[in-house]
Amino acid sequence: MNIRDALKLYVIPDRRIGAPRSIEEQAALAIDGGATLIQLREKEMNGRELYETACRLSSLCRSRGAVFVVNDRLDIALASRAHGVHLGKEDLPVSVARKIVPVGFLIGATAHSIEEGRAAEEQGADYVGIGAVFPTGTKNVVSVIGVDGIRAIRKALSLPSVAIGGISEGNAAEVLSAGVDGIAVVSAVVGRPDIAGAARRLAETVFSGKP
Amino acid sequence: MNIRDALKLYVIPDRRIGAPRSIEEQAALAIDGGATLIQLREKEMNGRELYETACRLSSLCRSRGAVFVVNDRLDIALASRAHGVHLGKEDLPVSVARKIVPVGFLIGATAHSIEEGRAAEEQGADYVGIGAVFPTGTKNVVSVIGVDGIRAIRKALSLPSVAIGGISEGNAAEVLSAGVDGIAVVSAVVGRPDIAGAARRLAETVFSGKP
């Protein structure tokens, strides 16, 4: 799958927000609804739990034609045969990760500003997650930059990009009007009772291709 | 350095126990006193902090002829050009790590029993840390097996081994009588006002070669 296509509907399952469903159940339902990429991000799991969860998600995504990336832990990504890793500012530098991954391994980075986006591009990131668009309860958000902020960063970069932070059914079209390739969500999909239905409605907005 | 020689005096710096000295200062003083191996084990650091600390320790150890391993985070170990990684039961499986590391990269495992020691050997570990010998305040210890427990596990294995858990100047000779190649310590070295002196006294015991 082309990286820009993979970024269309980027879903991050969450044990807490998606409870009582497991991360694997959340991911499977999200893919049913049209999720194109699943990211494993669980700060509370130890290495063994992460590895075992990542192996299950990697198999699931490969069998269903979705892309799978692991947040932060490049070792878990490599060990589970994930398609890539997502690296934030508190993780390994992108340029360092690039030196130890095989050709074709995806590296995503996070950008809260044009400067961070350009740095990600220079260091060899394959895509950039831009945010936070809106306030969100999922993460301690350092900066909320709005749709205009997303547009400004996106325009300054040639990298494929995905917007993240407080995106929902109600504002997805507006976010996409900023020119990003796709949207990344947690609560808007895995926090809903009908995960597949929620993913499907967001996928329709993303794939309609019009704001 | 031969792996059995590298295990002679295995020191694990600790930000909290060794405060106010930095991990790097603790490591440098321990090497001054004769530490043969430094392990970076800091569960509270994020990936970026670990990477930066690991790079400094890796350079320090290489320039001083000591071996450097990273606990748990194989990605940080690879990125910082450490000599190896130490994997416990809650970390990546040894057999999985073995598949993604270069030839000659050290993999250490932990054994609290003969079964765990044999599993580590079968999975391709280069050495095994056996413990806990004595109760310790450093970790939540699952099992205290005493010097006899260390001896029993050591005898069942052909792998190089290091004993860990509550080892001090007063009991080091007794622990070494169990036949391990060396001793691993935290508080007994980095928790002392004179880190180099504490390391030196332990090194003398280890290198004297007699119980």
Chain A residue with CA closest to B75: the answer is: A75
Q: Identify which of A48, A79, A92 has the shortest CB distance to residue B48.
A: A92
**Chain B interface includes A137 (CB < 8 A):** no
Phi–psi pair at A171, nearest 5 degrees: -120, 0
Across A60-69, B49-58, B138-147, least confident range: B138-147
Chain A residue with CA closest to B97: the answer is: A79
Give the mean model confidence (pLDDT) for residues B5-24: 97
pLDDT of residue B28: 98
pLDDT of residue B1: 80
List pLDDT tens digits, range A146-205.
999 999 999 999 999 999 999 999 999 999 999 999 999 999 999 999 999 999 999 999
* Chain A residues near residue B48 by CB distance under 8 angstroms: 89-93
Residue A210: count other Cβ atoms within 10 Å of its Cβ. 7
Of A81, A83, A180, A179, the closest CA to residue A128 belongs to A180
DSSP β-ladder status, B161-164 and A37-40: unpaired
Distance CA B194, CA B134 (A): 23
pTM of the model: 0.93
The answer, yes or no, to whether residue B140 has pLDDT greater than 70, is no
The answer, yes or no, to whether residue A138 has pLDDT greater than 70, is no
pLDDT of residue B141: 55
Q: Identify which of B47, B49, B90 has the shortest CB distance to residue A47.
A: B90
Q: Identify which of B47, B97, B100 has the shortest CB distance to residue A72.
A: B47
Return the percentage of chain A with pLDDT > 90, whole number: 94
Q: In whole numbers, what is the pLDDT of chain A averaged over residues?
A: 95
Q: Do A92 and B46 touch (CB under 8 A)?
A: no
Q: pLDDT: is B49 or B142 the higher one?
A: B49
Split at pLDDT 50, 70, 90, the class of B130 is very high
The answer, yes or no, to whether residue B156 has pLDDT greater than 90, is yes
pLDDT of residue A211: 45
Mutate to test the interface with A, among B42, B43, B49, B75 (most CBs of A within 10 A): B75
Q: Do A92 and B74 touch (CB under 8 A)?
A: no
Looking at CA atoms only, how far is residue B140 from chain A in angstroms? Answer: 15
Q: pLDDT: is A20 or B137 the higher one?
A: A20
* Chain B residues near residue A99 by CB distance under 8 angstroms: 79
The answer, yes or no, to whether residue B137 has pLDDT greater than 80, is no
Looking at CA atoms only, how far is residue B197 from chain A in angstroms? Answer: 35
Q: In whole numbers, what is the pLDDT of chain B averaged over residues?
A: 95
- Give me the architecture of the A3-208 domain, per CATH: Alpha-Beta Barrel (3.20)
pLDDT of residue B142: 65
Q: What is the sign of the dihedral through the CA atoms of B195, B200, B206 and B211?
A: negative
Distance CA A25, CA B91 (A): 24
Looking at CA atoms only, how far is residue A175 from chain B in angstroms? Answer: 30
Split at pLDDT 50, 70, 90, the class of A209 is low
Mutate to test the interface with B, among A43, A48, A110 (most CBs of B within 10 A): A48
Chain B residue with CA closest to A43: the answer is: B46
List A residues 18-47 in contact with B (Cβ-Cβ < 8 A): 46-47
pLDDT of residue A51: 98
Give the mean model confidence (pLDDT) for residues B9-32: 98
Per the document, the length of chain A is 211
Q: Identify which of A47, A72, A78 has the shortest CB distance to residue B100.
A: A78
Q: Which residues contact A54 (CB under 8 A, 6 or more apart)?
A: A40, A68, A70, A76, A77, A79, A80, A82
* Chain B residues near residue A49 by CB distance under 8 angstroms: 90
List pLDDT tens digits, range A97-122.
999 999 999 999 999 999 999 999 99
* Chain A residues near residue B54 by CB distance under 8 angstroms: none
Mutate to test the interface with A, among B41, B43, B48, B98 (most CBs of A within 10 A): B48
In the numeric block, the tokens 């391990």 are attached to B180
**B31-to-A50, A59, A84, B6, B27 alpha-carbon distances in Å:** 34, 45, 38, 12, 6
Return the percentage of chain B with pLDDT > 70, whole number: 96
Looking at CA atoms only, how far is residue B49 from chain A in angstroms? Answer: 7
**A63-to-A14, A33, A55, A154, A202 alpha-carbon distances in Å:** 21, 15, 12, 32, 22
B/e letters for B151-190, b = 16+ CB within 10 Å, e = fewer, are bbbbeebebbbbbbbbbbeebbeebbebebbbbbbbbbbb
The answer, yes or no, to whether residue A139 has pLDDT greater than 70, is no
**DSSP bridge partners of A68:** A38
Q: Do B100 and A75 touch (CB under 8 A)?
A: yes
Distance CA B125, CA B21 (A): 32
List pLDDT tens digits, range B95-125.
999 999 999 999 999 999 999 999 999 999 9
Distance CA B25, CA A170 (A): 54
List pLDDT tens digits, range A80-101.
999 999 999 999 999 999 999 9
List the domain boundaries for chain A. Answer: 3-208
pLDDT of residue B211: 45
Find out whether A35 and A66 touch, Cβ atoms under 8 Å: yes
